[in-house]
Amino acid sequence: MSNSNFVDYVKICCRSGKGGAGSKHFHRDRTTAKGGPDGGDGGRGGHVILRGNKQIWTLLNLKYRKHVIAEHGDPGSANLKTGKNGNDEILEVPLGTVAKDAETGAILCEITNDGEEVVLLSGGKGGLGNNHFKSSTNQAPRYAQPGEPGKEEWKILELKVLADVGLVGFPNAGKSTLLSVVSAAKPEIANYPFTTLVPNLGIVAYRNHRSFVMADIPGIIEGAHKGKGLGHRFLRHIERNSVLLFMIPADSDDIQKEYDVLLNELAQYNPELLDKDRLLAITKCDLLDDELMEELKMEFPKKVKVVCVSSVSQIGLTKLKDEIWKLIHHEVG
C-alpha cells in the first residue's frame, strides 16, 4: 500500500468550554460602605466549530488529534464586569466533510462552502451575577448563578470527495491510467486489483483554458454495497460527483453484464445515484478495430452514451472530454 496522506475518516472527542460563574459582589468605594450588588455575569464557554477551507483536501490535520478541548469562560467580577468568553476551537476541514454523532450515527451537518462555519458543540452559558437577582424585597442577594457545564461528545468526520466527474469501474479497468493521461495527477498504477486504495483527484484541462475535476475512485466489486472489497469506504465518494463515468475494459468477458453489475451496486447502496448523469467509456480500445468498436456500441441502448477510448494510444480522449463537459454543464449536442 502506498503511504498516502489522504485521510477521509476521523473520530474525535470534542469538549466545549464551561461557562464562567456569575459574581456575588457588592459595590464598595471610599464613599460607599455598603453599596448594592454589582456582580458581573460569567463569560460563555468556548465552542467547537467546523470551518470549510477549500485549500484543504484531506482530514490529515485531525488524524492524530483525538481530543479537541475548547477554553472555559472566565467568571464575572466587580463593577458589573462580564467575564471573558472562552476561545473557540476551530477545526479547518475540506469541503464535502460530513459530521456525525458517533453514538447514534445521525448526520449533524455538512460543510460545502469555503469559509462556512458550523458550531459542532456549543459551550456552556455564563452564569448571571447577583445584580440580576436584586429586587425591592431582596436588596442584597448573596448568591449568583453558576455557569453551565460544557459538553463532551465523540464525533465522526467523514469526507466525501467533491468532483465534477467520478470514475466508476471494477478493479484494473484503467481508471488510474486515464486520470494520469488526461491530468497531471500521478496515481499509483500496477497490474493487480485494488492498486488504488484512496481517491485521487486531477484537474483535466479542456478547450479555451477551461477545466474540470476528475476523481479516480477505488474499484467496485460485486457485493460492495454490503461492505465487500473496500465497500462503503469509497462508495460514499461517488455521492458528491456531478457525472459518473463508468469504465469497462474492451477485453472483458461480458461488457453489458459488468455495466449492469456496477449499476446494481450503486442502486443497492443509494438509489439516488442512478439519477446522476452517466457515461460509459470502453477502455483499452487500442486492441479493437473500428468495426468492433461500432459493434460494441450497438450492444447498449441508445440512452446509454458509449465512448471508446485508449489511454495508452490516446484514442477518443478528446471526444470523451467533450461528452463529459456537455454532461457537467447540461449542454445539448
Task: Encode pLDDT of 95-149 as tens digits.
Answer: 889 999 999 989 999 998 999 999 999 999 999 999 999 998 998 899 999 999 9
Binned at pLDDT 50, 70 and 90, residue 213 comes out as confident
Distance CA 310, CA 255 (A): 16
Q: Cell numbers 462503503 correspond to what residue?
A: 232
Residue 291 backbone phi and psi in degrees, to 5: -65, -45
Q: Cell numbers 466527474 correspond to what residue?
A: 165
| Burial of 295 per CB tally in 10 Å (0-12, 13-18, 19+) | exposed
Q: Which 8-state DSSP code applies to residue 15?
A: E
Distance CA 246, CA 278 (A): 7
Query: How much of the chain, in percent, has pLDDT values that exceed 70?
Result: 86
**Beta pairing class for 163-169 and 211-216:** parallel
pLDDT at 3: 47
Q: Cell numbers 447502496 correspond to what residue?
A: 269
Best CA proximity match to 115, nearest among 175, 50, 165, 69: 50
Please report, for residues 195, 275, 296, 331, the alpha-carbon distance to residue 302 in angstroms, rounded to integers and kept in the order given.
33, 17, 12, 18
> Residue 315 has which C-alpha cell?
484514442
Helices marked H in the chain: 60-63, 175-182, 232-238, 255-269, 290-298, 317-328
Distance CA 40, CA 74 (A): 11
Q: Where are the domains of the chain?
A: 1-159, 163-328
Binned at pLDDT 50, 70 and 90, residue 90 comes out as very high
Instruction: Average the pLDDT over 241-255 and give the result.
Output: 84
Residue 89 pLDDT greater than 90, yes or no: yes
Distance CA 307, CA 293 (A): 9
Query: Are 130 and 24 in contact, with CB atoms under 8 Å apart?
Result: yes
328: enclosing H helix or E strand: helix 317-328
Is 163-328 assigned to CATH 3.30.390.10?
no
Q: Cell numbers 483499452 correspond to what residue?
A: 284
Binned at pLDDT 50, 70 and 90, residue 177 comes out as confident
Residue 223 pLDDT greater than 80, yes or no: no
Q: Cell numbers 450588588 correspond to what residue?
A: 37
pLDDT at 192: 46
Helices marked H in 64-197: 175-182
Binned at pLDDT 50, 70 and 90, residue 233 comes out as low
The CATH architecture of the domain made up of 1-159 is Distorted Sandwich (2.70)
> Residue 164 has which C-alpha cell?
465534477
Mean pLDDT computed over every residue of the chain: 83
Residue 4 pLDDT greater than 80, yes or no: no
Q: Which residue has the higher pLDDT, 327 or 236?
A: 327
| Burial of 275 per CB tally in 10 Å (0-12, 13-18, 19+) | exposed
